[in-house]
Amino acid sequence: MRDVAVLGVGLNSKWGELWEMSLRDIFVEAALNALDDAGVDRVDSIVVGCMTSGLFVGQEHLGSLMSDYLGMNPAAATRVESACASGGAAFRQGFLEVASGAADIVLVGGVEKMTDVGGDEATYALSAASDMEYEAYHGITFPGLYALIARAHMHRFGTTREQLAHVAVKNHRHGARNPAAQYPYEITVEDVLASVMVADPLRVLDCSPITDGAAAAVLCPVETARKLSKKPVVKVLASAQASSTIALHSRKDLTWFESTAEAAQKAYRMAGKRPEDIDVAEVHDCFTIAEIVVLEALGLVERGKGGQAAESGMTALGGKIPVNTSGGLKSKGHPVGATGVAQVVEIARQLRGESGARQVEGARVGLTQNMGGTGGSSVVHIFETV
Amino acid sequence: MRDVAVLGVGLNSKWGELWEMSLRDIFVEAALNALDDAGVDRVDSIVVGCMTSGLFVGQEHLGSLMSDYLGMNPAAATRVESACASGGAAFRQGFLEVASGAADIVLVGGVEKMTDVGGDEATYALSAASDMEYEAYHGITFPGLYALIARAHMHRFGTTREQLAHVAVKNHRHGARNPAAQYPYEITVEDVLASVMVADPLRVLDCSPITDGAAAAVLCPVETARKLSKKPVVKVLASAQASSTIALHSRKDLTWFESTAEAAQKAYRMAGKRPEDIDVAEVHDCFTIAEIVVLEALGLVERGKGGQAAESGMTALGGKIPVNTSGGLKSKGHPVGATGVAQVVEIARQLRGESGARQVEGARVGLTQNMGGTGGSSVVHIFETV
């Protein structure tokens, strides 16, 4: 297996409600930014992460569409889907293309255009990440599912309502330093606690938003990156993915994401790293409770202590292990298919020391964790400057 | 890159309108058949090819769903989409998993459940493979697009209406020998010419049907296959994919599939084979004209002679290069995400000498060609018994 590097990264300039841009426009802007950052204008292969462009805008066949609009034909181009982990799964496929030797320069992009439909339709589209026949058709959608996880965690570990709020407050504090973020402003614990109830105990400021956005990364062999780039070379130390039951009701333990724990174990093994080696992490905070459980499953925080980690500042900029310096899904936004690739964008910039006001000083090893549904799938990547 | 073999293959028992089975049931039946054929009960990774389960049945996140229902958690599991080439693209991803060393045993499955919606909804869902904003929204759907290709081919090369019919007649003659086929019976040229007009010159018997079905293949390193299997080892000599414009109106030449020609050139180079080395091929006959153009783009038939090839018997069982011995999309059925994997199932069985009444005697080298939309993407694989 060849060693793989991240040669360039990019987002479209601003995430949010982009009514003046179509799915293809958003993707192409992010991809061109990544190609510019990489300093290449041709790729052998394209992998597009997208959850449900079919339900959001009636368009499938995104590999062909994006290769066409980027002017990259006849490159191989494929779309990869794993619900909200589509971006992470796409990045893994791009990694395999380069690692296997099938391609030398690969563009991985993630995209979602979510605001062309109304709220009911968006809720239906996102429900397609759950077990539609056994969950959504019976009336439970994602805020309800994550509320069940939150209540179970509060009951078992004594996690407080305020600790949930601290996750959102921290991520908004980070996101206020990210100009591309959808909601780049700070909020307080009081704001969260006073916000509209969505699914008890989760309020609207516990939930990531509906977002239009795209992210892209260019991958190549490490040796190629050393030749082409004057920036620090960001090596992909590990790429790992795992699955768990798609339905929450099939789990043995509501307070644990088995797919994240499995993917993390594989990734640490492949990277030769331990949780304490990680300097900065981007994780899947689709709801505040998700970040709490994820950090425990990654071994970055002790079991049951995820809430305390947010409250104590341990996971904030300046803390022991800064998490979601980009603002996370909560503040930066969550265009579902783009999220996993955007995590890589943030980590690559952190490891290259380009994160400005939100830079983690001396960061050398970074981790991304991207998750589909209530953890039916998880993808973990580990990176290091070499 | 490691050498990769097809260890086992399977379809669900019967393709057609499977109203008593859901998406997951169909996939699991095919996957269990492939696992049984392979003689393994665990896999490291699963790749699911599916075009648009979101629009057909409101379900995405198929990697997690299928891993769950197959009892394969915590295996990595991802869904791959490239419109009607989703199955071929999924097979290529599975190939890369094994070739790269990331996984030792990989299950690749393709599935589509198309009959749970009405005709208008199915037409809309399939249109998502075209450029929705610039083709389907203006009123042209796939029969119309392929009719344009047919008229251009007839005009330029003198291809006749009867030659188009011969493609359907040949594939139904083959499909009549395939018990899994949706329409396992013979038809005549007169039947085709008398059938209902869909989009001039294409009549309903020029069109592949709407189908529920699934197909699966188990991949592993060639060395592993030699140890595990007593059957002839089917090696994947080449896996290649290419893109072209998603919209037909952007093409320089309506009578050519550039993505197929590009993928074929790459595949022949990778395999060290020429078109004349191919003993049997499964190609994408979504409409009769498609098989004609595809065979020319693959170099299996001289440019402009695809229609004559069907009429003369050159591409029939017993001819110089038998094409679509399974019955092809026309007779076997076309569950879009499953088709590319089902082509591999047919070729693997042919190369193992297990095709009974439709066996190509002495077949050693086989080719599959799977295509999305009007050729916006194409995937070509070449196999040989070793």
Q: Give the mean pLDDT of B61-74.
A: 98
Question: Is A127 in Cβ contact with B89 (below 8 Å)?
Answer: no
Sort out which chain B residues have CB atoms less than 8 A from A99's CB and list them: 100-102
Give the closest-approach CA distance of A183 to chain B in angstroms. 28
Tokens of B325: 């011995």
Question: Is A334 known to be catalytic?
Answer: yes
Quick one: chain A helix, strand, coil %, rounded to 5?
A: 45, 20, 35
Smallest Cβ–Cβ distance between A82 and the set B79, B89, B247 belongs to: B79
CATH topology of domain B141-207+237-381: Peroxisomal Thiolase; Chain A, domain 1 (3.40.47)
Amino acid A314 reads M
Q: In this structure, are residues A237 and A351 in contact, taking their beta carbons and an 8 Å threshold?
A: no
Per-residue model confidence as pLDDT tens for chain A (386 residues): 999 999 999 999 999 999 999 999 999 999 999 999 999 999 999 999 999 999 999 999 999 999 999 999 999 999 999 999 999 999 999 999 999 999 999 999 999 999 999 999 999 999 999 999 999 999 999 999 999 999 999 999 999 999 999 999 999 999 999 999 999 999 999 999 999 999 999 999 999 999 999 999 999 999 999 999 999 999 999 999 999 999 999 999 999 999 999 999 999 999 999 999 999 999 999 999 999 999 999 999 999 999 999 999 999 999 999 999 999 999 999 999 999 999 999 999 999 999 999 999 999 999 999 999 999 999 999 999 99
Q: Distance between CA B255 and CA B258 in Å, rounded?
A: 10
- Write out pLDDT tens, residues B198-238: 999 999 999 999 999 999 999 999 999 999 999 999 999 99
Task: State both tokens at A96.
Answer: 């395999």
Using CA atoms, how far apart are residues A11 and A25, in angstroms rounded to an integer? 12
Chain A contact probe: residue of B72, B243, B380 with most A CBs at under 10 A: B243
Whole-number pLDDT of residue A114? 98
Cis peptide before B201 (omega within 30 of 0): yes
What is the structure's pLDDT at B160?
98
For chain A, where do the domains classified as CATH 3.40.47.10 start and end? Answer: 4-118+210-228, 141-207+237-381
How many interchain CB pairs under 8 A, A with B? Answer: 233
B90-110: per-residue pLDDT in tens? 999 999 999 999 999 999 999
Torsion sign, CA atoms B248, B251, B255, B258? negative
Of residues A153, A284, A334, A381, which has the active-site annotation?
A: A334
pLDDT tens by residue, B262-315? 999 999 999 999 999 999 999 999 999 999 999 999 999 999 999 999 999 999
Confidence of residue B175 (pLDDT cuts 50, 70, 90): very high
Cβ-Cβ contacts under 8 Å, B80 against chain A: 78-81, 93
d(CA B129, CA B141): 10
Closest CA to A238 of A210, A219, A263: A263
| Terminal Cα distance for chain B, rounded | 17
Q: Are A230 and A354 in contact (CB under 8 A)?
A: no
pLDDT computed for residue A36 by the predictor: 98
- Which pLDDT belongs to residue B51? 98
CA distance A381 to B15: 39
* Residues from chain A contacting residue B93 (CB–CB below 8 Å): 78, 80, 93, 96
Cα distance from N-terminal residue to C-terminal residue, chain A? 17
Output DSSP code: residue B71.
T
Q: Identify the architecture of domain B4-118+210-228 in CATH.
A: 3-Layer(aba) Sandwich (3.40)
pLDDT at A256: 98
Nearest to B101 among A1, A61, A74 (CB): A1
pLDDT at site B220? 98
**Residue B138: other Cβ atoms inside 10 A:** 10
Q: What is the residue-wise DSSP string for B198-265?
A: EETTEEGGGB----BEEEEEEEEEHHHHHHH-SSPPEEEEEEEEEE--SSGGG-S-TT--HHHHHHHH
A-chain residues near B88 (CB < 8 A): none
Q: What are phi and psi of B218, to 5 degrees?
A: -110, 130
Confidence bin at B62 (pLDDT 50/70/90): very high
Interface test with B, best of A4, A100, A114, A138 (most B CBs within 10 A): A100
Checking DSSP bridges between strand A365-372 and strand A377-385, what pairing results, if any?
A: antiparallel
Helix (H, G, I), strand (E, B) or coil at A228: helix
DSSP string for residues in B280-310: EEE---SBHHHHHHHHHHTTSS-TT-HHHHH
Q: How far is B107 from chain A (nearest CA, A)?
A: 14
Nearest to B60 among A57, A62, A81 (CB): A81
pLDDT, one tens digit per residue, over B159-169 is: 999 999 999 99
Q: Which segments of A12-75 does DSSP mark as H helices, in order?
A: 23-38, 53-57, 62-70
Q: Choose the closest CB to B74 out of A125, A127, A258.
A: A258
Cα→Cα distances A186→A180, A189, A202, A203, B260, Å: 15, 10, 19, 17, 52
ipTM beyond cut 0.95: yes
Q: Which residue from B55, B65, B82 is facing A55, i.e. has the nearest CB? A: B55
* Mutation target among B65, B127, B141 for the A interface, most CBs of A within 10 A: B65
| Strands, E assignment, chain A | 4-11, 45-49, 76-81, 106-112, 197-199, 202-203, 213-221, 234-243, 280-282, 365-372, 377-385
Distance from CA of A349 to the nearest CA of B (A): 27
pTM: 0.98
The closest of A48, A24, A127, A32 to A340, measured between CA atoms, is A48
Is-catalytic flag, A174? Answer: no
Contact between residue B385 and residue B364 where contact means Cβ atoms under 8 Å apart: yes
Beta carbons of B382 and B231 less than 8 angstroms apart: no
In 3D space, the residue among A378, A287, A292 whose CA is nearest the CA of residue A86 turns out to be A378
Cβ atoms of B83 and B377 within 8 Å: the answer is yes
All residues at 6 or more sequence positions from B355 whose CB lies less than 8 Å from its CB, including other chains: B325, B346, B349
CA distance B119 to chain A (A): 16
Among candidate residues A84, A207, A220, A286, the one labeled active-site is: A84
Phi-psi region of A139 (alpha: psi -120 to 50; beta: other; left: phi over 0): left
Question: For residues A20 and A331, what is the distance between their CA atoms, to the nearest angstrom?
Answer: 22
A261 to A33, A339, B101: CA distances (angstroms): 33, 19, 22
Task: Give the pLDDT confidence score for residue A202 in this predicted structure.
Answer: 98
Section B244-263 average pLDDT: 98
The rounded radius of gyration (Å) of the Cα atoms in chain A is: 19
Q: Average pLDDT, whole number, for chain B?
A: 98
